[in-house]
Chain A
C-alpha cells in the first residue's frame, strides 16, 4: 500500500516536466503565432489534469485504506551526521488541500488559454504557472522543512517573474522586486527555522518536530520559540500579514489569472498552511500563539479599514483577502486550528472564483460602487490613513530602503576611493574592454597599490634576469674562462715548438733513470 502512496513524489514533478517540455518547444522554434499556442496550453493543462487525477486517486485510496501519514521515500543528500530525506506527509489536511490546489491550478490554466491569447509572453506565462504549481504542491505535500522550502522558493521565484510579466513597464518590474525582496526576508526566517531545527533537534521532518514537542522531557520552550520564530516569520510574510501587508497590494501587476491563483487563492494561504503544520509545536508555546493572534487581528482590522476606501476591483479584493487570512491567523492563535483549516479551504475556492471574475465585474455589476461608510468619511484622519494604507509603504522606504541605500553609497565610495587603489582594480570607467584612447606604449602597467608593487618587483627581477642570467657573453665567469683560454693558447704555442717537447722527454727520461 505504501508503494502506491510513494507515487506522490511524481505529482510535483509532472508540472515541472510540463515546464521543461514547453521550454524545449520554445527552443525548437515552432512556438510561433496562433498555431503555436494550443500545444503549450495543452501540455500544461495535461500535466495539471494528471496531477489532479493522481491526487484524486490517492484521496480514494486514503478513504479506503486510511491516511498513511508520513511517507519516507529516500535520502536526498547526507553530509556528516546530517541527512535530508525525501519524505511526504499525507494526511487529511495535505491531501485535501493539495487536491484543491491542483483543481484551482487546472481551472486557472484553462482560463488563461483565452485570457492570454496573443499576448507576447504566452509561453513564458505557462512555464511560470507550471513551476508555481509544482512549488505549491511541494509545499503542501512535502514531509520535511527542506522540501517545503524548495517548493516555497519555486513559488517565490515564479511569483517574482509573473509580477514582472510586463517587464517593459518599470512599475511592474519595480513592484516585482519589492515583492521578491520582502519575501526574501521571509526566506531568511525559513532558513533560520530549518537550521535551528537541524542543529538543535537533529531533524527537519514535520513529524519529527511534532514528536519533539510531544516528548515532554526533551522539549524546551526557548528552543521552540526560536525555531517557531523563523518559520512563522516566513509564514507571516508569505501570507502578507501585518506589518508586511504592503507587498501583496503591489503584487497585482501580473496577469489576472496569475493574481488569482497566487495572491487571491493559493499562495497567500501557504503561510496559514505552514502554521497548521506547526500546530503540535504551537500548542506547547502559548506565548507564540498569542503573538500570532495579535498579528492576525491587526491584519484583519487593517485589511478591513483599507479595503473600505479602495476604488478598484483588484485592490478591494486583495484587501478583503488579507482580512480573511488575518482571521485565519487569529483563529490559529486562539487554538482553533480546525476552523482555520476549513476557513482556508473555503476561502481558496471563493477567492479564486472572485479573482477570475474580476475583469468582468464592470460588466456584471450595474449599480454604482458602494460609498465609503459615513462614520469613516466623517473621521478625516482615519480616512486619510486608510487611503494611504497607513503609510506602511513610505515607512518601509524611509526606515529600510533609504538607510540601506546610504550605507551602500558609503560602501561604494570606500570601494572606489580606498579599496580599488589598494587592490589595483582598474578605474570604473575602464572596467571590461580596453578603451579606444588607450596608450599603446603602456601595455604593462599595474593599478593601485598592488599593481605598483608588482611593477616595482617586476622591474627589479627583469634587471636581475637580463644582467645575470641572460648575458653570458660578458659575465665574469665567461671572462675568466676566456682569459684562461688565452693562457692555454700561449702554452699550446710554446709546446708546438720542438725544443720544449724534446726537453720534456729528456727530463722525463732523466727522472725515470
Chain B
C-alpha cells in the first residue's frame, strides 16, 4: 500500500521524462494528473487508517541488508499521516503554480515528482537508514530546481542553491553520526526505528544527550532553528514559486517531524534538554518575526515568518505534553497550508508585476479583489486569528507551553503581536491607498489559480472551524508520545 504510494510519483516522473512531446502545457498536464492521482491515493489511505490505534499502521517491511540490519520498511502513524496528506495536497498546487515554466519543462516536472517521492519517503520510512537515504535524496532535485530554474540573478541563485545544499549536508553529517552512534549504542543490530527506540530509551542520559544533539543539528538546519537558518531566506527568495511552496510547506516539516521521532527515541535526552529547546523556540519565534517585519521583499518576509512559525512547532514539541505535541502537529499542517498559499499568491503577484517590494504596491483591492480576498485570508491565518487553522495550532502550543513555563508564554504573544504588525502592514500596503498608475491593469486570479488557492484556503478554514477530525487523527499518537513524559 505505502510502497505503491511511494512508487506512484516516481512513475509519474518517468512518464514525464519519457513523454514524446516537448509542449510544456502537455507536460504540465501529465504532471498535474500524476500528482492528483497520488493525492487521491494518499487520501484513500484514511479509510485504512484507524486513528484510535497509536502504533504504526500499514506497516510493510523488506529486508535490505541483513548483516547490517537495515531494512526497507514503511509505515504511518498519527504524526506522519497528516504530513503525507499535506504533501500530496500541496503537490498539485505546486504544479499549477509552475504555469510559467516554459524551458526545460520535462526536466523541471520530473524533478518535482522525484522530490515528491523523496518527501513521502521521509515521512513513511520506519528505518533510520532508509530515512537518511530519503532525506538526502530530497537534496538532489532541490539543488537543480533552485540552481537551474531559480530567480533572475544567476549568481544569487547559484549561491542560494549551494548554500542550501551545504547547510543541509553539514547538518546531515551530524545526523548520520548520531544515527550511527544510536545504532552502535543500542546494539540491536537493526536500524528499525521501533527496535532502536525500545533499546535506546534505556540508555544512560549522557549518551542520549550526545545522540540527541547530533540529531538536533541535523533536523534544526531543516526546520530551521535560530542559528542554523542561514540558508532559508536566500533559498526561498531565489527558488521558483512552486519550489518555495514545497520548501516551506513540506520540507521544513521534515525537520520538525524528525525531531518528533528523535523525542520518541530519546525521551530522556529530550527531558534533559527541554530548557535548551524552549529557549531556541522563543529565540526563533521573536527573531524570525522581527526580521520578517524588517524586510521589504515579500518573499523574504514570508521566509522569515516561516522561521517564526516553525518556532511555534518547536515550542509545542519542547512542551513535551499532550497539548504541546498536538499543537506542534497542527502547526505543521497549518503552516504548510498557510505558507503554501502565501508563497503561491506572492509568486502570482510577482509574475504579474515583476516586483516584490512592498513599497511598490498600492490599492490592489480594486484591480484584484479575488487576489485580495485570498491574500487577506492567508495573512489572518498566519497571524492565527480564530476560525483559521493557525489559531487551533497556536492555542494548543500555548496551552501546552503554559503548563510547563507559565508566564514565559508572553514571548509567544510577543511574536504573535509582531506577526500581526507585519501582516497588517503588508495588507495595508498592498490593498489600500490611492490608485497607482503601475498597478492599474494587473489581472486578477484566473479560474485555475483560484481553484488551487481555494483548496488551501478551504483546508485552513476547515481545520480552523472544525478541528475535531484533525485532532482525532493525531490524538492517539500524541497520547502515546506524551505518555513517556507522564503528561
Please determine whether A461 and B294 come into contact, CB atoms closer than 8 angstroms: yes
Interface set, chain A 157-207, CB cutoff 8 A to B: none
- B469 interface hit (Cβ, 8 Å): no
- B109 interface hit (Cβ, 8 Å): no
One of B287, B295, B418, B428 near A434 (C-beta < 8 A): B428
Please determine whether B428 and A443 come into contact, CB atoms closer than 8 angstroms: no
Knowing A433-B428, A434-B432, A441-B359, the reply to whether A469 touches B290 (Cβ < 8 A) is no
- A462 interface hit (Cβ, 8 Å): yes
* Secondary structure of the B contact surface, majority rule: helix
Knowing A454-B418, A470-B234, A472-B230, the reply to whether A444 touches B294 (Cβ < 8 A) is yes
Please name all residues of chain A whose beta carbon is closer than 8 Å to the beta carbon of B233 when the two chains form the complex.
470
- B443 interface hit (Cβ, 8 Å): no
* Nearest A residue to B227, CB-CB: A469
- A410 interface hit (Cβ, 8 Å): no
Knowing A454-B421, A458-B290, the reply to whether A436 touches B163 (Cβ < 8 A) is no
**Complex Cα distance A457/B294, Å?**
10
Please name all residues of chain B whose beta carbon is closer than 8 Å to the beta carbon of A433 when the two chains form the complex.
428, 432-433
Please determine whether A443 and B294 come into contact, CB atoms closer than 8 angstroms: no
Least CB distance from A5 to B in Å reads 39
Please name all residues of chain B whose beta carbon is closer than 8 Å to the beta carbon of A436 when the two chains form the complex.
433-434
Q: Known pairs A454-B421, A470-B230; list 10 more (Cβ under 8 Å).
A: A433-B433, A435-B433, A438-B433, A441-B359, A443-B359, A458-B290, A458-B293, A458-B294, A472-B163, A472-B230
- A465 interface hit (Cβ, 8 Å): yes
- A114 interface hit (Cβ, 8 Å): no
- A440 interface hit (Cβ, 8 Å): yes
Please name all residues of chain B whose beta carbon is closer than 8 Å to the beta carbon of A454 when the two chains form the complex.
290, 293, 418, 421
A interface residues (Cβ-Cβ under 8 A, vs B): 432-436, 438, 440-441, 443-444, 454, 457-459, 461-462, 465, 469-470, 472
- B205 interface hit (Cβ, 8 Å): no
Please determine whether B432 and A465 come into contact, CB atoms closer than 8 angstroms: no
**Complex Cα distance A432/B166, Å?**
45
Please determine whether A443 and B433 come into contact, CB atoms closer than 8 angstroms: no
- B358 interface hit (Cβ, 8 Å): yes
**Complex Cα distance A440/B438, Å?**
14
* Nearest B residue to A459, CB-CB: B294
Knowing A440-B359, A443-B296, the reply to whether A457 touches B290 (Cβ < 8 A) is yes
Pick the 9 closest A-B CB pairs, nearest first: A433-B432, A458-B294, A469-B230, A443-B359, A434-B433, A436-B434, A458-B290, A440-B359, A462-B294
**Complex Cα distance A434/B166, Å?**
43
* Nearest B residue to A440, CB-CB: B359
- B291 interface hit (Cβ, 8 Å): yes
**Complex Cα distance A280/B444, Å?**
69
**Complex Cα distance A51/B425, Å?**
54
- B229 interface hit (Cβ, 8 Å): yes
* Nearest B residue to A458, CB-CB: B294
* Nearest B residue to A469, CB-CB: B230
Interface hub of A432, A435, A440, A472 (most chain B Cβ within 10 A): A472
**Complex Cα distance A436/B287, Å?**
32
**Complex Cα distance A432/B227, Å?**
37
Please name all residues of chain B whose beta carbon is closer than 8 Å to the beta carbon of A438 when the two chains form the complex.
433
- B429 interface hit (Cβ, 8 Å): yes
**Complex Cα distance A441/B358, Å?**
10
Interface hub of B230, B290, B291 (most chain A Cβ within 10 A): B290
**Complex Cα distance A340/B234, Å?**
83
**Complex Cα distance A451/B296, Å?**
17
Q: Contact mask B335-370 → A, CB, 8 Å, 1/0?
A: 000000000000000000000011100100000000
Please name all residues of chain A whose beta carbon is closer than 8 Å to the beta carbon of B294 when the two chains form the complex.
444, 458-459, 461-462
Please determine whether A461 and B433 come into contact, CB atoms closer than 8 angstroms: no
* Nearest B residue to A465, CB-CB: B291
Least CB distance from A442 to B in Å reads 9
**Complex Cα distance A458/B295, Å?**
9
* Nearest A residue to B422, CB-CB: A444
Q: Contact mask B81-121 → A, CB, 8 Å, 1/0?
A: 00000000000000000000000000000000000000000
Knowing A444-B296, A472-B230, the reply to whether A461 touches B290 (Cβ < 8 A) is yes
Least CB distance from B421 to A in Å reads 7
Knowing A434-B428, A454-B293, the reply to whether A461 touches B287 (Cβ < 8 A) is yes
Please name all residues of chain A whose beta carbon is closer than 8 Å to the beta carbon of B362 when the two chains form the complex.
434
* Nearest B residue to A432, CB-CB: B432
16 contacts between A and B (CB under 8 A): A433-B433, A434-B429, A438-B433, A443-B359, A443-B429, A444-B295, A454-B290, A454-B293, A457-B290, A458-B290, A458-B294, A459-B294, A461-B291, A462-B294, A465-B291, A470-B233
* Nearest B residue to A445, CB-CB: B425
**Complex Cα distance A438/B229, Å?**
34
